[in-house]
Structure formats: structure tokens, C-alpha cells
Structure 1
Amino acid sequence: MAVSVTELWLAIVLAGLLTWVASALVHMLIKYHNADYKALANEEDVSAALAEKHLKPALYTLPYCSDMKTMGEAHMQKKFNDGPVAMITIMPNGMPPMGKLLTQQILFFIFGSFLIGYLASLSIVVNAEFMTVFRHVFIASFLTYGWAQIPYSIWMGPPWSNCIRYMLDALIYAAVTAGTFSYL
């Protein structure tokens, strides 16, 4: 008999919370994501130039190209070849609203754990062996937390080293989630 998702409620909530704790440890204690970002040599000049434009929060591209046909035009190819080519995220001014961001992050992990639990309820039977549960949940968790990072490095420019660090995070989160589901 299959396990129902309602029977997994404790594993879902606990896995979400423990994964959030693992994420906090990765970012606040281990800090290997500090290498994800680089400083601009002329940060003040770039900041002043962007500030004077009063840009609204959004993701901007440089050079901006509205569709693929435009990329074939000589003037657009020149812009790309001359550079710089960039994607710039403009966020609201002020300190990051940590309470809001941390709440969104924990909800992300709990909802992710719910989706993983739902998938587990479709593939795992009552009293399944520890390693059977671990393998199923580990793969689902890794896909949930990591696999989607790859297109960012393919299309948006973050270095592959950043992607690898996020994939390492996904392995950690998958192990925590799989261990929680398997134990419970």
C-alpha cells in the first residue's frame, strides 16, 4: 500500500525546517558562496550612473535586444562585440528585508518538501526500506533544489563555479531531506 502525503506531514515540515537550517549554515558559517560575486573596480562610477537613471527594480540586459531577429542586425552585433555584455539586477534601495527574505526561503523549502513528499507518496510503499526511501527522496530533492541552476550558467552568465557551488548546496539539501524522510 502506498504512503499518503498526509502521512508524511511531519517529514515534510521537518525536512523543510532542517533544509532551511542547512542553508543558513552554508551561507553564514561555511560561506563558500562569498566567491559567487565580484566587485567592480569602478563601483562608485557605475553606481552613480545607474542611480541617475532612477531604474525600477528589474532584470536589465546590456545591450538590450528585444527579439532574436534584431540580433542578426549589424548594429546589434557590433554592440555585442564591442561590449560590455551584461545582465544587471536592480533591487529596491535600502538594506535587504531579511525577515521577509528568510520567510520566503523557509516557505520555499517547506513547499519543496511538500512536492518531494507528494512524489514520494506516489512511489514509496508503507514500511519501505530506509535506502529505498532515501534513494527516491534524494533524487527528487536534488532535482528540486539543484538541477534548475544549470540554465542560469548556460544562458545568463554566472560562472560555472557558482553553479557548482549551488549544485553542492543541492546535494546537501537532498541528503538532509532524504535522511529526514527515511528516518521518519
Structure 2
Amino acid sequence: MGIIDLWLPILVSAAVCWVMSAIIWTVLKYHNRDYAQTADEEAVRAALKGNRPGFYLLPYCVDPAELKNEDVKRKYEEGPLAYITMLPSGVPTMGAKLIAQIAFFIAVGIVCAYFVSRTLGPEADYLATFRVAGAVAFLANSFAYIPESIWFGRPWPMTVKSFVDALLYGLLTGGVFGWLA
């Protein structure tokens, strides 16, 4: 059994996870509380206006040697400290993001197919296939969030919720692979 033989579970698991993602974000909405409003949104908007889309560091300091500078130290002590993601202005469109999300789930399915095809024989039963594909899908959908919380201040409750999402995706992917592989 090779990856090509697993095209059906790759595509079906991607579609099922994509639907689950839509349910999480549009029906369950438990991620809505992940975001907070700034104290004075209009002042923050005015201060950020003119910056191009990108990822910004506040205060800006990319050389640890600069932390010896009294002015830089003062900025850190006074705060605020922030990582700011700037997006292009305009009403967000979902089309490209939805396509990218399904492409991501397909990529996860391909990785799952690789592990299933390399660790299990064609006689593998549902549970064995479920375990391998589900574990790989869970890992692929979750563990990258941990360094984001460690290094970039992503709130841990947000990361825990993303792990819940990943667990759902892992269970669904494992189920689809166990059923169709």
C-alpha cells in the first residue's frame, strides 16, 4: 500500500476536517473569546496606520546586545511589549483562506498517508489505521502552537483550544483513514 493508494482517505479526511473547522468557527464559536479589544482602539488604529502588512515587534529590538542600552531597557520596562500582525486594509475575503485551509488539510492527509503506508501493511485493521493516522493528524494540527505560546506570548488558553481543535481533526482523520484505507 502506497500513498497513491490512499488518495480517497486523504481527500475525504480533508473535506471532513474542513467542515469541522467551519463548525468550530461559525457554530461553536469558542475561539471568539480568544481576542480582546485594545483600551483605545481608535488611537491604536491611528498609531498603526501607515505600516505595511507584516509582523512587527514593539519595542523593536532584534539584537540582544541592544538590551544593554538604557533607552531600550526603559522601553521594555515601561511597556507595552507586543507582536503585531498587520494585514492589508479592506474587508477580509474568505475565498483564498478557505482554499488554503483545505490545502493544509490535504497536506496533513498526505503526511498521514505516508505514515500509514510505511508503518502498516495492507491487512491493517480499522483500529491500527485509526491510531496511526489520528496521532499524526493530531500532531500536525497542534504542536506548532506550543512555541508560539512559549516565545511569542500567544495566550495558553488559546493554545489549549487549538489542541481541542486538533484532537477533533485527529479523531476525524483517524476515523476516515480507518474506514477507507
Q: What is the TM-score when the length of structure 1 is the normalising length?
A: 0.94
The one-letter code matched in structure 2 to 1:141 is A
Q: 140, 143, 150: which is aligned to 1:144? A: 140
Q: Deviations over 1:115-142 (max 9, x none)?
A: 1111211111102021111111111111
SS of the residue 2:31 aligns to: helix
Q: Which residue does 1:46 correspond to in 2?
A: 44
Q: Deviations over 1:63-111 (max 9, x none)?
A: 0112222224333222111100001111000011211111111111111
The one-letter code matched in structure 1 to 2:110 is F
- The CA distance in 1 between the partners of 2:89 and 2:20, in whole Å, is 29
- C-alpha deviation, 1:7, in angstroms: 0.9
- The CA distance in 2 between the partners of 1:91 and 1:160, in whole Å, is 23
Bigger CA drift: 156-165 or 67-76?
67-76
- The CA distance in 2 between the partners of 1:104 and 1:166, in whole Å, is 18
- The CA distance in 1 between the partners of 2:2 and 2:97, in whole Å, is 31
Aligned length, in residue pairs = 180
Q: Which residue does 1:60 correspond to in 2?
A: 56
Q: Which residue does 2:28 correspond to in 1?
A: 30
2:95 is the alignment partner of 1:99: yes
Contact kept, 8 Å, 2:112 with 2:132, in 1: the verdict is no
2:109 is the alignment partner of 1:113: yes
Q: 9, 12, 31: which is aligned to 1:11? A: 9
The one-letter code matched in structure 1 to 2:42 is E
SS of the residue 1:125 aligns to: coil
The one-letter code matched in structure 2 to 1:37 is Y
- The CA distance in 2 between the partners of 1:95 and 1:120, in whole Å, is 41
User: How many percent identity over aligned positions?
Assistant: 38
Q: What is the TM-score when the length of structure 2 is the normalising length?
A: 0.96
SS of the residue 2:144 aligns to: helix
Give unmatched runs, 5+ long, in structure 1: none
Q: Which residue does 2:119 correspond to in 1?
A: 123
Q: Which residue does 1:71 correspond to in 2?
A: 67
